Amino acid sequence: MPTLGMIFPPDLPPEELHRVASAAEAAGLEELWLWEDCFAESGIATAAAVLGWTQRLRVGIGLLPVPLRNVALTAMELATLARLFPGRVAPGVGHGVLDWMGQVGARAQSPMTLLAEYTTALRRLLSGETVSVAGRYVTLQEVALAWPPEPPPAVLMGAVGARTLRLAGELADGVILTGRTTPEGVRDALAHVTPRPGDGFSVVSFVGVRGAAPSDEIAELAQRYFDAGATTVALHSVGDGGPSLEDLAYTIAKEVAPLLR
């Protein structure tokens, strides 16, 4: 069943998040997605706040830049959220913006190697394994979570290029595609992705809605992404003259969702 969600962008101050999350919950929205952009808002802190403020809203984090975060710490944080709010957190990991990673002295010489080692270790830790690994970037010595979540949350991977898309299919439980990806781009991207046989694989598309677009137009746009292979479409307003996020949440849940096939 396709899922419609909304994005709280990091160019808004965090003190606006409570009002938006409450409006999304009240409207019946399924998912609220958060970004961890340097140097704006933490994805983990904002996810924890939204989960605590709401009762059923699912919270996606798209995405956590792996060069900034020790994998054991990320596993601890995600495991805590997954146990406190079962089935309601959808974390995503990725390279991060490489220039930003350079600003903080965390840019990896081989981002692909780092992302592969990190994603593998993160999923193993969240699954309750005791992990020992001596990789190029990830080093763990008999590390195990004291409170692994059951079941572990699906770990998604942000991807744009063909190599990272292939890596997402090999190692992650889903892929997050940027707002610059068209419906045709979704089809092209998925041509590089081969999920593991028998596994559910999520395809999250971030989609911008310009101005005060009517509900039928938004529904038609979202449907094009679903038809292209997206399993979740997370909408956000772009440009001037658009609705408030509270109004957008109501429109998505009450007017757009019923129009989808």
210 domain residue, yes or no? yes
Q: What angle do CA 87, 10, 79 make, to 5 degrees?
A: 30
What is the per-residue pLDDT for 198?
Answer: 67
Give the pLDDT score at 238: 85
> Residue 195 and residue 172: Cα distance in Å, rounded?
8
Residue the block writes with tokens 């307003």: 237
Domain membership of residue 47 (yes or no) is yes
What pLDDT shows up at residue 49? Answer: 98
- Match 């898309």 to its residue by tokens: 165
Compute the radius of gyration of the chain from its Cα atoms: 18
CATH of the domain at 40: 3.20.20.30
Query: According to the model, what pLDDT value does residue 2 have?
Result: 87
Chain segment 11-48, per-residue pLDDT in tens: 899 999 999 999 999 999 999 999 998 899 999 999 99
Within 8 A by CB and 6+ apart from 23, the residues are: 245, 246, 249, 250
Give every CB contact of residue 166 below 8 A, 6+ residues apart in sequence: 192, 193, 194
In a domain, 43, yes or no: yes
Whether 56 is in a domain gets the answer yes
At residue 34, φ and ψ (nearest 5 deg) are -120, 150
Let me know if residue 2 belongs to a domain.
no
Query: Where in the sequence is the domain holding 186, given as residue range(s)?
Result: 7-259
Q: What is the rounded CA–CA span in Å between residue 242 and residue 238?
A: 7
Note whether residue 82 is domain-resident: yes
Nearest Cα to Cα of residue 8 among 236, 250, 242: 236
CB neighbourhood size of 190 (10 A): 19
| Residue at 67 is within a domain | yes
Measured between alpha carbons, how far is residue 90 from residues 4, 85, 93, 186 in Å? 14, 11, 10, 20
* Number of separate domains in the chain: 1
CA 32 to chain centre: 10
Residues (pLDDT < 50) of the chain are: none
Give Cβ neighbours of residue 8 (< 8 Å, ≥ 6 apart): 17, 20, 21, 32, 33, 34, 35, 46, 245
1 located within any domain: no
